[in-house]
Structure 1
Amino acid sequence: MLLAEERWLNNPVVENQLLEAVLETLYMTLATGFFTVLFGLPLGVLLHNLGPKGLNPMSPLYRALSLVVDFGRAVPFIVLMLWIIPFTRLIVGTAIGWEAAVVPLTVGAIPFFARMVENSLREVSWGKVEAVRMMGASDLHVTWNVLLREGLPGIIGGLTITLVTLISFTAMAGAVGGGGLGQLAINYGYNRYQADVMLICVILLVVIVTAVQYTGNFIARRLDHR
Structure 2
Amino acid sequence: MLELIIPSLLQTVYMVFFSTVFSLLLGFPMGVLLVITEKGGIWEKPTLYRILDGIINVLRSFPFLILMVLLFPLSRLIVGKTIGTTATIVPLSVAAAPFVARVIETSLKEVDKGVIEFGQSIGATVPQIIFKILIPEAMPSLIMGVTLTIVNLIGYSAMAGAIGGGGLGDLAIRYGLYRFQTDVMVVSVVVIVILVQGVQFLGNKLASRINKK
Question: Shared fold by TM > 0.5?
Answer: yes
User: Equivalent of 2:196, from 195, 206, 209?
Assistant: 209
| Inter-partner Cα distance in structure 2 for 1:94 and 1:177 | 11
Q: Map 1:44-59; keep pairs closer than 5 Å.
A: 44-59=31-46
After superposition, give the CA deviation of every residue in 1:139-177 in whole Å (9 maximum; x if it has no partner). Answer: 110110000000111111111111101101101100100
Counterpart check, 1:154 vs 2:150: no
Structure 1 ranges of 4+ moved more than 2 A: none
1:181 corresponds to: 168
Per-residue Cα deviation, 1:63-119 (whole angstroms, up to 9, x for no partner)? 111000011111100000001101110011111111011000000000001110011
> What secondary structure is seen at the aligned counterpart in 1 of 2:138?
helix
The question of whether the paired residues in 1 share the 8 Å contact of 2:30 and 2:52 is answered with no
1:30 counterpart residue number: 17
1:1-226 equivalent positions in 2, closer than 5 A? 14-225=1-212
Match for 1:209: what amino acid?
A: V
Aligned equivalents of 2:209 and 2:172: distance in 1? Answer: 36
> Which stretch of the first structure deviates more once superposed, 25-34 or 45-54?
45-54
Report the Cα offset of residue 51 of structure 1: 1.1
Mapped to 1, the partners of 2:2 and 2:192 lie a distance apart of: 18
Shift of the 67–142 alpha-carbon distance from structure 1 to 2, 3 Å rule, reads: same
Larger radius of gyration: 1
In 1, Cα distance between equivalents of 2:123 and 2:44? 19
Cα distance, 1:127 vs structure 2: 0.5
Q: Is the 8 A contact 2:28 2:100 kept in 1?
A: yes
Write the distance in 2 (CA, Å) between the matches of 1:173 and 1:207: 19
My pick for the range that moved more, 110-119 or 44-53, is 44-53
Q: 1:47, 1:114 → 2: CA distance? A: 8
Q: Secondary structure at the match of 1:224?
A: helix
Gaps of 5+ in 2: none
Q: Distance in 2 between matches of 1:217 and 1:38?
A: 22
**Which amino acid in structure 1 is aligned with residue 119 of structure 2?**
V
Q: Distance in 2 between matches of 1:69 and 1:119?
A: 14
Structure 2: how far apart are the matches of 1:212 and 1:192?
31
CA contact (8 A) 2:16 2:150 kept: yes
Paired amino acid for 1:17:
L
TM-score scaled by structure 1?
Answer: 0.92
C-alpha distance in 1 between matches for 2:174 and 2:185: 9
Q: CA deviation at 1:190?
A: 0.6
Shift of 1:132: 1.3
TM-score (norm 2): 0.97
CA–CA distance in structure 1, aligned partners of residues 61 and 164 of structure 2: 23
Gaps in structure 1 of 5+ consecutive residues = 1-13
Q: Which amino acid aligns with 1:170?
A: S
